Amino acid sequence: MDFRKCTVYQIYPKSFRDSNGDGLGDLKGVTQKLDYIKELGADYIWLTPFFVSPQKDNGYDVEDYYNIDPRYGTMEDFEELAREADKRGIRLMLDMVFNHTSSRHEWFQKALAGDEKYKNYYIFRKGKAPGVPPTNWVSKFGGNAWEYVPEFDEYYLHLFDVSQPDLNWDNPEVRREVQKVVRFWMQKGVKGFRFDVINLISKEKFADDEEGDGRRFYTDGPRIHEYLRELNEESFGQDADIITVGEMSSTTMENCFRYAGSQSHELSMVFSFHHLKVDFMGNEKWVLVPFDFAKLKKILFDWQQGMAEHDAWNAVFWCNHDQPRVVSRFGNTETYWKESAKMLATVIHCLRGTPYVYQGEEIGMTNVDFTKIGQFKDVESLNYYQILQDKGLSASDALRIIQIHSRDNGRTPMQWTGGENGGFTEGTPWIGVNKNAERINAESELQDPDSIFHYYQKLIRLRKEYDVIAYGDITPVDQGNPSVFAYRRSWQDENLLAVCNFYGKPVTWTCPEDIKGYARILGNYPEAEVKETMELRPYEALVLYRKG
């Protein structure tokens, strides 16, 4: 299966479908909905972690890499899911968290008991002085990234939550343990792996960062490419059918040429997130500023062309479990909900790269409508609600920022029906269901031939039908236009033109290229004539094709 022609559907199991009424999604719930995913046309399902975990960070704090957390089911449930997916031609991609473990992992518990072998599985350091951590690095969830252990008079590093100690990848025993985990799941028939924040595993040096928060000392570190090549050779690289994707935190394009280069023997493709910081202020997420459209285009096109020039491959996406809903972020959830959701899909799915669809994106799910901080569950959001107030913001202003940027926006339950709890559970959901499930749900989307779901279905099909989408080069078109996102794809004698009005106002657009011979193969409005100068309607998207 050529991953360039494939589409991956991401599932956050906790919020996808609850099969037993306990309020938590589970593996049997995923199995129940395989026909839905098959109808959409996805080739792979990426499942976020379902391993044994205390759930301090929604499963990204793994206590046991080899066993299923009982709240998600059993190994038999996983094996049934794998079998049923395979019957439908769908492959499974697992989410592996190898930068850190849970503090409840057996390895860390042995480390805390003083076992030197396992202490060396993690990163322990003496403080600079009594009560002073080894460095001034800031945890990604807020606060210092070092936690003091009085018994040792040492600190351990946690780039994320205090319950997520970083593994010491410089220790070859740790690398062998990780390789063993991947081989275990390969034997279960898994054909894809997504590696969480994998570019943080090689730390450069442990020193104060006088210029920032420490990330320059642990991002894309000195031995990262060596470690990924070794992981490839000792595990997934032994099966040519397996695809891999690395989540690359604050990475550089130069490193990604190597991570996902066709001849680099590291990973199949990479996630980069620069395009999803265009509504930040610098690197600061917890602010409210309008998104910068010109910057969004520049970042996406720079990465598209740069990766193509170095024969490296992107994963292309808007949404995941760590991001707000894209139609709320860059679209219009009121007047042009359907049009803007389809337009945003068009931008991504015609790019060079493997598209990822996050559960609910294909039916236009929006940010949640929580009005009280007690409704949020995400550790990052709760931490920053307090941090923002400590900086002087009012509780209402801090809440407004959380409402816009919280990861919980992507984690509310999948909206299957307009009934109670959106058809997600017959019990009490672990986190509230968006009230708009009455209007926005999979059942109504499937019944509407003009739905967002059916539009995504067509985009996924186009990638399989037209080689130019899977293999073509990419050239920005009219890049300086303040309203239009347009680009051309070229492959052999095929050309494809994607033209998207990114805003809710009509715009007169003149194509700077020869438009003769192009025919419309997809659009989110009733068909209009293809000509040099076109009146693009609010959030209008056009996919034009020419052969020869």
Known catalytic residues are 196, 247
* Residue (of 356, 411, 424, 337) closest to 379 by Cα position: 411
Two tokens at 445? 């989307």
* Torsion, CA 374, CA 407, CA 21, CA 32, rounded to 10: 170
Question: How many H-runs (helices) and E-runs (strands) does the chain carry?
Answer: 16, 20
**Residues 6 or more apart in contact with residue 393 via CB below 8 angstroms:** 401
CB 133 within 8 A of CB 127: yes
Q: Which amino acid is at 300?
A: L
* Residue (of 301, 381, 357, 275) closest to 93 by Cα position: 357
Alpha-carbon distance of 217 to 376, in angstroms, equals: 32
Alpha-carbon distance of 500 to 217, in angstroms, equals: 40
The per-residue b/e assignment along 397-428, b for 16 or more CB within 10 angstroms, e otherwise, is ebbebbbbbbbbbbbbbbbbeeeebbbbbeee
Alpha-carbon distance of 515 to 494, in angstroms, equals: 13
Helix (H, G, I), strand (E, B) or coil at 14: helix
Question: What is the phi/psi pair of residue 317, to 5°?
Answer: -165, 160
CB 286 within 8 A of CB 263: no
Place of tokens 């503090």: 103
Sign of CA dihedral 276, 279, 283, 284: negative
Alpha-carbon distance of 532 to 516, in angstroms, equals: 8
Q: Which long-range contacts (CB under 8 A, 24 or more apart) does 464-471 make?
A: 464/5, 464/41, 466/494, 466/496, 466/521, 466/545, 467/491, 467/492, 467/494, 468/492, 468/494, 468/495, 468/496, 468/545, 469/349, 469/350, 469/496, 470/2, 470/4, 470/5, 471/4
